[in-house]
Amino acid sequence: MPIQTCPNCGTRNRVNEVVALAHKPVCGKCGASLDTVSKPQIVSDASFANDVIAASSSLPVLVDAWAEWCGPCRMVAPVLDQLAAAANGRYKIAKLNVDENPRTSAQFNIRSIPTLLIFKNGKLVDSIVGVQPKQAIAARLAAVAN
């Protein structure tokens, strides 16, 4: 069963996809609706120009450069899920697997993961290397979004 993070309280909830089709899933802790939770978009070498560079002309895009085997990447993932759920059209969150997309990783000189890249107006405007608290990531994103 997939796990969805509540956009209201941050609680991780297991959501049975079959049952969710018939009933709107709600958070087990606070009762907030989970059906409108947006997730980070998966991007690749092939889609990066359109999904990140072009999309950043209308709103900022934060790209999480990660790998499956990376423990710190798994620590940042729930934070990015929460930020994506709270975006409300102010910004976009994307995920780039560096093992599967070496061209984009090399283009932006990604040497350590997790690395968060923030794009605005088609250009890289900020980067964050390593695990950071949610508040720090949100503040850097908000600074670009305003």
Which residue in the list 6, 9, 30, 73 is annotated as catalytic?
A: 73
Which residue in the list 6, 27, 30, 70 is annotated as catalytic?
A: 70
- Number of separate helices (H) and strands (E) present in the chain: 5, 7
Cis previous bond, 114, omega within 30: yes
For residue 126, give both structure tokens: 């900020």
The beta-strand segments (E) located in 15-120 are 41-43, 61-66, 92-97, 115-120
Residue 6 is a catalytic residue: no
3-class SS of residue 101: coil
Residue 27 is a catalytic residue: no
Helix (H) or strand (E) holding 3: strand 3-5
Q: Which residues are catalytic?
A: 70, 73
